[in-house]
């Protein structure tokens, strides 16, 4: 596979634009559901979310300007990769799995420590129990860690599943390195 630095940077910039847009839409949704008592803070938060969304749209439509600025002289340098498409897909799924596992593990540790400190302070109150929302977040981070580990360890199987889905009407045997098909 041949590509240039400019093309790789454009892809990375568009991925960043999608993440920025999703973050902006998530903020708007949380602002609308939670609501804000102070209308000035609500308007300011909505204005910043609209600004984020605007930047994401500009980056999606014109990623070449930023890519050219980042790589000016080396933008036409050609990269050659001898990996097949399914190898890139397996690597991408493994990276997503690692990202989810590390994010979930850090959330578990951080929230677990918060629960320990909060639990010691709650002993003085009448119930002495942690709120159920604290347990919800601990379960959320635990599931995220397990899902990330499953994606990381099962990336090869997911790639073959996606290959089968793409060729659904005419599923053929996927060749293994030893030449025997499974299917």
Which residues are registered as beta bridge partners of 174?
182
Whole-number pLDDT of residue 61: 94
Residue 183 is predicted with a pLDDT of 44
Which of these ranges, 32-36, 54-58, 166-170, has the smallest mean pLDDT? 166-170
Residue 124 structure tokens: 């003085």
Average pLDDT over residues 108-124: 81
Spatial distance between the Cα atoms of 134 and 35, rounded to a whole number of angstroms? 22
More confident residue, 63 or 135: 63
Q: What is the mean pLDDT of residues 116-132?
A: 73
Q: Give the residue-averaged pLDDT of 73-78.
A: 71
* Mean of pLDDT values over 81-101: 87
Q: Is the pLDDT of residue 178 over 60?
A: no
**Cβ pair 134, 115 in contact under 8 A:** yes
What is residue 114's predicted lDDT score, i.e. its pLDDT? Answer: 85
The whole-number pLDDT of residue 33 equals 81
Which has more pLDDT, 72 or 54?
54
75 — pLDDT class (breaks 50, 70, 90):
low
Are the CB atoms for 101 and 148 separated by under 8 Å? Answer: yes
* pLDDT band, very low/low/confident/very high, at 175 (cuts 50, 70, 90): low
Helical packing angle, 132-153 and 85-122, nearest 10°: 160
Over the chain, what is the mean pLDDT? Answer: 83
Question: Average pLDDT in the 25-29 region?
Answer: 88
Q: Phi/psi at 88 (nearest 5 deg)?
A: -65, -40
Whole-number percent of the chain with pLDDT over 70: 85
pLDDT bin (cut points 50, 70, 90) of residue 47 is very high
Tell me what pLDDT residue 53 has.
94
pLDDT of residue 180: 54
- DSSP labels, the chain: -EEEHHHHHHHHHHHHHHHHHHHHHHHHHHHHHH--SSHHHHHHHHHHHHHHHHHHHHHHH-HHHHHHHHHGGGGG-EEE----HHHHHHHHHHHHHHHHHHHHHHHHHHHHHHHHHHHHHHTTSSS----HHHHHHHHHHHHHHHHHHHHHHTHHHHHHHHHHHHTGGG--PEEPTTS-EE-
Per the CB < 8 A criterion, the answer to whether 4 and 75 are in contact is yes
């Amino acid at each position: 596979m041949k590509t240039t630095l400019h093309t790789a940077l454009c892809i990375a910039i568009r991925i960043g634009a999608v993440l920025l847009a999703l973050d902006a839409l998530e903020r708007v949704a949380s602002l609308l559901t939670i609501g804000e008592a102070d209308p000035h803070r609500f308007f300011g938060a909505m204005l910043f979310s609209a600004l984020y969304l605007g930047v994401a749209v500009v980056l999606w439509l014109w990623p070449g300007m930023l890519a050219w600025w980042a790589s000016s002289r080396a933008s036409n340098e050609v990269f050659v990769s001898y990996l097949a498409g399914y190898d890139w897909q397996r690597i991408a799924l493994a990276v997503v799995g690692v990202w989810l596992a590390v994010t979930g593990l850090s959330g578990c540790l951080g929230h677990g420590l918060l629960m320990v400190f909060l639990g010691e302070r709650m002993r003085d109150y009448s119930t002495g129990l942690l709120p159920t929302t604290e347990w919800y977040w601990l379960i959320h981070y635990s599931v995220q860690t397990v899902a990330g580990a499953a994606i990381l360890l099962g990336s090869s199987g997911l790639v073959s599943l996606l290959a089968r889905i793409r060729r659904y009407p005419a599923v053929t045997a996927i060749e293994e390195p030893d030449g025997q098909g499974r299917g």
